[in-house]
């Protein structure tokens, strides 16, 4: 008699939609240290950037852009973190090879669960969470763009 093979399953992460609270998550950073959503929060919240592989040329441009403009995000009371699909050692390699290391954590979402929670699997973009971890704004960035315009990002942060 034929029996169907048992498949391993895992619980899918809860999706975060606009105006909903993000669940706590933890990932390792470029130094191998565990970072949680709670410890990434700034006075007013956090801006999470999402990328695939860090060594992709367009993603390198995106990181350099974030390095250049991180102070504008921080000045508005938000911390910045970059979530990638790489392993911590790959992020460490990028970090130590940078002429100017990024002033924000590079986070290794190896399983893709954080990307999936924010519906960013296979996409690049940004999500703004307020100090209560409520998703307030989201940008999906097409492959031919670096990020949203800085004025759009700071405009959203200043009005929250």
3-class secondary structure, 54:
coil
pLDDT of residue 72: 95
CA 135 to chain centroid: 13
Q: Report the length, in residues, of the chain.
A: 160
User: Is the confidence at residue 10, as pLDDT, over 80?
Assistant: no
| The listed CATH number (3.40.50.620, 2.40.160.60, 3.60.110.10, 3.40.30.10) that belongs to domain 26-159 | 3.40.30.10
Average pLDDT value for residue range 44-61:
95
- In whole angstroms, what separates CA 19 from the centre of its chain? 18
- Terminal CA-to-CA distance of the chain, rounded, Å? 62
Contact call for residues 140 and 124 (beta carbons, < 8 A): yes
Contact 54, 94 (CB under 8 A): yes
What angle, 0 to 180 degrees and rounded to 10, lies between the N-to-C axes of helices 57-75 and 150-159?
40
Give the whole-angstrom CA distance, residue 37 versus residue 135: 13
DSSP state of 103: S
Query: How confident is the model over 12-41, as pLDDT tens digits?
Result: 445 567 778 899 999 999 999 999 999 999
Residue 146 has pLDDT above 60, yes or no: yes
**What does 31-73 look like in DSSP terms, one character per residue?**
TS-EEEHHHH--SSEEEEEE-S-TTSHHHHHHHHHHHHHHHHH
Share of the chain above pLDDT 70, in %: 89
């Amino acid at each position: 008699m034929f029996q169907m093979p048992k498949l391993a399953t895992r619980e899918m992460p809860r999706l975060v939609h606009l105006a909903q609270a993000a669940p706590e998550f933890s990932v390792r950073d470029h130094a191998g240290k565990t970072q949680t959503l709670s410890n990434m929060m700034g006075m007013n919240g956090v801006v999470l950037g999402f990328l695939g592989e860090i060594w992709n040329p367009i993603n390198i441009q995106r990181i350099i852009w974030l390095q250049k403009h991180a102070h504008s995000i921080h000045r508005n009371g938000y911390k910045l973190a970059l979530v990638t699909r790489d392993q911590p050692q790959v992020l460490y390699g990028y970090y130590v090879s940078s002429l100017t290391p990024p002033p924000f954590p590079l986070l290794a979402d190896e399983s893709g669960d954080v990307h999936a929670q924010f519906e960013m699997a296979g996409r690049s973009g940004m999500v703004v969470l307020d100090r209560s971890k409520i998703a307030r704004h989201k940008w999906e960035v097409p492959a031919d763009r670096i990020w949203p315009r800085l004025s759009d990002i700071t405009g959203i942060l200043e009005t929250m």
